[in-house]
Amino acid sequence: MSLPTKREFIIVACGTILFFLLTGIFIGIRTDHVALMGLFLALFFASGLTRKLAIALIPFMVFAISYDWMRVFPNYEVNPIDVKGLYEAEKALFGIHADGQILTPNEYFAIHNCKLMDFLSGIFYLCWVPVPMLFGVWLYLKGERALYLRFAMVFLLVNLIGFAGYYIHPAAPPWYVMLHGFEPVLNTPGETAGLARFDAVIGLDIFGSIYSRNANVFAAVPSLHSAYMIMPVYYSLIRKSSPWLVLLFAIILVGIWFTAVYTAHHYIIDVLLGILCAILGILLFEKGLLHIRGFRRFFDSYCRYIR
80-119 pLDDT tens trace: 999 999 999 999 999 999 878 999 999 999 999 999 999 9
Q: Tell how strand 101-103 and strand 96-98 pair up.
A: antiparallel
For residue 149, which amino acid is it? L
Radius of gyration (C-alpha) of the chain in whole angstroms:
21
* pLDDT average, residue stretch 173-200: 88
Give the C-alpha distances (Å, rounded to integers) separating 70 from 32, 56, 77, 87. 16, 24, 11, 24
Average pLDDT, the chain: 92
User: Distance (Å, rounded) from C-alpha 261 to C-alpha 175?
Assistant: 10
| CB-count burial class (<10 Å; 0-12, 13-18, 19+) for 186 | exposed
**pLDDT score, position 253:** 97
Higher per-residue confidence, 293 vs 98: 293
Are 270 and 222 in contact by the 8 Å Cβ rule? The answer is: yes
Contacts with 190 (C-beta within 8 Å, 6 or more apart), sequence order:
211, 212, 213, 214, 217
Whether residue 222 has a cis bond before it, omega within 30° of 0: yes
166-186 pLDDT tens trace: 999 999 999 999 999 998 888
* pLDDT average, residue stretch 209-229: 84
21-30 pLDDT tens trace: 999 888 888 9
* Phi–psi pair at 237, nearest 5 degrees: -70, -40
Reported pTM: 0.93
Are 190 and 256 in contact by the 8 Å Cβ rule? The answer is: no
